[in-house]
Amino acid sequence: MPNFDLTGRTALITGSSKGIGNALARGLAESGARIVMNARDAETLKAAAADLRSSGAGVDTLVFDVTDPDAVRSAVDAYEAERPIDILINNAGMQHRGPLEDFETDAFDRLMRTNVNSVFYVAQAVAKHMIQRGRGKIVNIASVQTALARPGIAPYTASKGAVSNLTKGMATDWARLGLNCNAIAPGYFDTPLNAALVADSAFSEWLEKRTPQGRWGNVEELQGAAVFLASDAASFVNGHTLFVDGGITASL
């Protein structure tokens, strides 16, 4: 199906050395995209890039901290001088758990910088180039916590709600300039970020009962949504948050 073909497109995926970001890099590569992998740790990123190249994918790397706006702009502008970024997936994020009444302000600020500020920094840096070309795809990674809350993660819930609303704002400002700006809201997936929850048998039992599909998600199950939103098949989709959650937000 040619509308889903990403051949000739270049996709920057933040936080793509492991977890969901790595799975999305693989999915877009399988659909023909050249991948620009990003992480803060150069050695970890080098190993992840080598692994992806072994599958035949075209892969570049950009080492920068998504919470540093100057580093973001410098890296994006330098890469754009050589090759246009057609697709951006803002995936980098973090979790910090704790009772809201005792939640440390430094931890709150760090979580917001990582989960919200970075989405703005990277999207703005990439969008300035996309706008000049009159086209581009931005996909932000939100969460099932965009719509739901659980005890102990109120700041994370706030950050992912902000990502969804920021996505709407991006579409409102940039759709007329040729950009498609959307978000994916994953449910509960077996990732390094969720390792403690996966290992908690009581939580896993609760989750399996709470989720209509009755299980944790596999990160590969996010690839189709990412390819769709990054492709011409989603040419008239803008400002939307697509939940990929096994039905958890549809059921009481």
Question: 138: domain CATH number?
Answer: 3.40.50.720
Q: Is there a domain that residue 57 lies in?
A: yes
Q: What is the pLDDT of residues 113-152, one digit of tens each?
A: 999 999 999 999 999 999 999 999 999 999 999 999 999 9
Q: Is there a domain that residue 199 lies in?
A: no
Give the domain range for residue 7.
2-191+221-243
Q: Is there a domain that residue 54 lies in?
A: yes
Q: Is there a domain that residue 121 lies in?
A: yes
Q: What is the pLDDT of residues 182-239, one digit of tens each?
A: 999 999 999 887 888 899 999 999 999 999 999 999 999 999 999 999 999 999 999 9
The residues annotated with a catalytic role in the active site are: 156
SS3 89: strand
Residue 193: the pLDDT is: 78
Q: Is there a domain that residue 49 lies in?
A: yes
Which DSSP letter does residue 84 get?
Answer: -
Q: Is there a domain that residue 207 lies in?
A: no
Tokens of 139: 């996909």
Q: Is there a domain that residue 168 lies in?
A: yes
Tracing tokens 């697709």 back to the chain, one arrives at 87
Residue 20: the pLDDT is: 96
CB atoms within 10 A of CB 244: 17
Q: How many domains, the chain?
A: 1
Tokens of 226: 């990412």
Residue 32: the pLDDT is: 98
Residue 199: the pLDDT is: 93
Q: Is there a domain that residue 65 lies in?
A: yes
